[in-house]
Every structure is written in C-alpha cells, then in structure tokens.
C-alpha cells in the first residue's frame, strides 16, 4: 500500500483520479440534461473546489457561465463569532439558476452559510453539486442535488482538498491511514 506523508500525517489511496473523472462525466451528463435552456451560472467555492470545478465544467455543454467565490473571515470582529462573508460576487445573480460547486459537504455549515448569503440576491434557484458528501456528519436539511461520492466520516485530502494547506495538488483522493475503516 502506497503511503503518502503530508506534514505529520500518513495517507493511503482512497479514490483514484480515474474513478473521480468517471463520476464527474456522469454528473455532467445529468446536469447537461437538467440545465438545458436555463442559462445557469456555475459558482465554484474556493479554495477546495478548484480542481473539481475545472474538470466538471469541461464536461458542461449547455450555454452557461462560471465564477468563483470565497468565504473570508471578517476583519476586526471577534474570532469567537466566526462570522464569514462571501467575497467575489459580481455577476448579476438575481433571478438566475445558480449551480454551487463544492469540494466536500461535511456538517453542511459552510454551505448553509453560502446559501443564506446567495439567497439575499434572490436567484431563481440554487442547485448544489459536491464532489464528496459525508452523510454521517451532515447536520442540515437542505437538499444536496448531486454528489460524486458518499464517504465515511474520515479525513481525506487530494484533488483540491487540503491538510493545513498541503496536498491539494494530488491527482487522487487519499484517506488518513488507520482511520479508513472507522464509521463505515
């Protein structure tokens, strides 16, 4: 078993780039069907979704746009409040079909925050696409319309996802060693 060391932790293979790309093609096919005539705007959430957004968007054939947003902590507000604002909104998203591209939905808190802020602009609809979904960690009720893989409640890296900022460049998705059989 190939072991990849990132900072102080060891990771082992979990999902290959080939498997990932096969699922992306499947999701793109569904989206190309369901988004026909909707003139959607895809919105990648930085940083984690950049690889997924890129590979997914290459398979999208309906007329559409893509943009990227990032959650940033407010400056000057007590860090205990953990208030984050969404930066980078510049297209007119009012009355548009938005397709949010996320890397991973864990508790769902991040996405909840993003959806609440986007709703202020009164888009026509918000469709959620995530590469990975951890159903055992998920605490929210909103629908995850498309996910490529359902995964256990373990820590993974690669294909855009990081451990303390490292590991995003890996083509495959790796899982923390000795954690892979827990919570399955």
Instruction: Return the active site residues.
Output: 106
Rounded to a whole number of angstroms, the minimum distance from the CB of residue 45 to Mg ion is: 5
9 to 68, contacts with ligand IMP by CB under 6 A? 48
Judged by CB under 6 A, the stretch of 9-17, 19-27, 32-40, 149-157 that binds ligand IMP is 149-157
Q: Is 167 in the site for Mg ion (CB under 5 A)?
A: no
Give the one residue of 15, 42, 44, 48 binding Mg ion; rule: CB under 5 A. Answer: 48
Specify the residue for token string 């507000």: 77
Q: Is 103 in the site for Mg ion (CB under 5 A)?
A: yes
Number of other residues whose CB lies within 10 A of the CB of residue 32: 14
Give the one residue of 107, 164, 169, 183 binding ligand IMP; rule: CB under 6 A. Answer: 107
Give the one residue of 32, 67, 109, 117 binding ligand IMP; rule: CB under 6 A. Answer: 109
Give the one residue of 17, 67, 110, 117 binding ligand IMP; rule: CB under 6 A. Answer: 110
- CA end-to-end distance (rounded Å), the chain: 20
Q: Which residues bind Mg ion (CB under 5 A)?
A: 48, 103
Q: Which residues bind ligand IMP (CB under 6 A)?
A: 48, 103-110, 155-157, 161
């Amino acid at each position: 078993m190939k072991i990849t060391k990132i900072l102080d932790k060891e990771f082992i293979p979990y999902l290959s780039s080939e498997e990932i790309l096969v699922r992306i093609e499947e999701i793109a096919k569904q989206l190309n069907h369901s988004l026909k005539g909707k003139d959607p705007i895809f919105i990648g959430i930085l940083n984690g979704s950049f690889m997924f957004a890129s590979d997914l968007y290459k398979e999208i054939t309906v007329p559409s746009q893509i943009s990227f947003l990032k959650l940033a902590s407010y400056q000057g507000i007590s860090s205990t409040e953990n208030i984050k604002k969404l930066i980078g909104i510049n297209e007119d998203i009012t009355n548009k079909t938005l397709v949010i591209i996320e890397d991973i939905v864990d508790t769902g808190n991040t996405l909840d925050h993003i959806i609440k802020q986007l709703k202020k602009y009164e888009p026509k609809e918000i469709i959620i696409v995530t590469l990975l979904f951890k159903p055992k960690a998920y605490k929210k009720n909103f629908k995850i319309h498309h996910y490529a893989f359902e995964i256990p409640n373990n820590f993974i890296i690669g294909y855009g996802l990081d451990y303390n900022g490292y590991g995003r460049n890996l083509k495959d998705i790796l899982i923390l060693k000795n954690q892979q059989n827990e919570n399955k």
